[in-house]
Each structure stands twice: as structure tokens, then as C-alpha cells.
Structure 1
């Protein structure tokens, strides 16, 4: 799945991130990233953003698996497929939103 497709899919599900209350960066490496701005209503999905509260480093492939429920966020973190920097509480909140 391309970054454009991932972005479109996240935008179609943006309402799921209501209540996040933070700026989260998904870092795919190679300068590619997506941001969820949970401060706005509905949450905004974009490729640019300010300083994130939490950065999640993950491959695009594994993010798709997370979104499809084929990879549990906790398992991804424990196996090193997902790395978190910044506020861990926000990452846990986001994980719960992805699992719903």
C-alpha cells in the first residue's frame, strides 16, 4: 500500500481519533511521515505538522496490519516493529483507538 493510500484510509477513519488530544507523528523512515492532529475536530490527517507529542516509528506495511487488526499494537511494540518516542500515554490511547 502506498503512502497516498494509507493517508486516504486514515482520513476516512479520522473520526476514530476523536478525543486523542495530541499531535502524533507516524514516521515511516526515508523522510515519509503522516501526522494525526487530535487537537482539531474532526482530527486532521496530513503529511506535515509541528512538534509531535508522540512519534511512532513503524513501516507502512506494519501500520496497515495494525489498522486491519492483523497486528496487535502491544505485540508490534514488544517485537520492535513499532518504536515509540515521546508521551507513552498518548501511544497507549492511540493503540486502544486502533483496536476498537
Structure 2
């Protein structure tokens, strides 16, 4: 597992802490992917209700609060495939 994915798993588990009810996959270009569900975040490439894809720099910025997830989506730095309502719920956790 890459250091970026490992750090993302830790950060997501702190930010979401069991409050997420769907299944989301985060694909970090060139690094790997992780899954977030009711059990928390973990490395994985399972099917999910929504898939969010970004490069490592954008994803790290979103997790640190330096990059607004909605702005990243609007500028094409973050792509969303699947349940847009679930993506918006994630955006609230990550902002």
C-alpha cells in the first residue's frame, strides 16, 4: 500500500468516524484506491455506490482542508461516478 493511501485511510477514519452510510471508493491516480463504508476506511478496490477519482495532490488537499471538494469537482480535478447525493454527503464530511 502506498504512503498516500495509508495516510488517506487514517485521515478518513478520523473525519468520518462511522457516520457514513453508503459505500464510496476513492481512486488516487498512480497510488491506489480505498473504500469507505459504515465500517470505516480501508485499502481496497471493491464495487461502490460512488467512485471519486483525483490525483494525489488534490486528494491530500481535500483531506487537509486546503482544497474544497466542490471546487475540485467543478474545475475537473475531482471526478465523480455514481451516486451524486452520496458524493455530496462525503463533501460535507470532508469540508
Structure 2 residue aligned with 1:69 = 65
Q: Which has the larger radius of gyration?
A: 1
Q: CA deviation at 1:91?
A: 0.2
Unaligned runs of 5+ in 2: none
Q: Aligned ranges for residues 21-32 of structure 1 at < 5 Å?
A: 21-30=21-30, 32=32
| Alignment root-mean-square deviation, CA | 1.9
Structure 2 residue aligned with 1:34 = 34
Distance in 1 between residues matched to 2:83 and 2:6, nearest whole Å: 27
Structure 1 residue aligned with 2:15 = 13
**Cα distance, 1:5–1:31 mapped onto 2, change above 3 Å:** closer
Distance in 2 between residues matched to 1:87 and 1:98, nearest whole Å: 17
Distance in 2 between residues matched to 1:64 and 1:28, nearest whole Å: 10
TM-score (norm 1): 0.80
Structure 1 residue aligned with 2:4 = 2
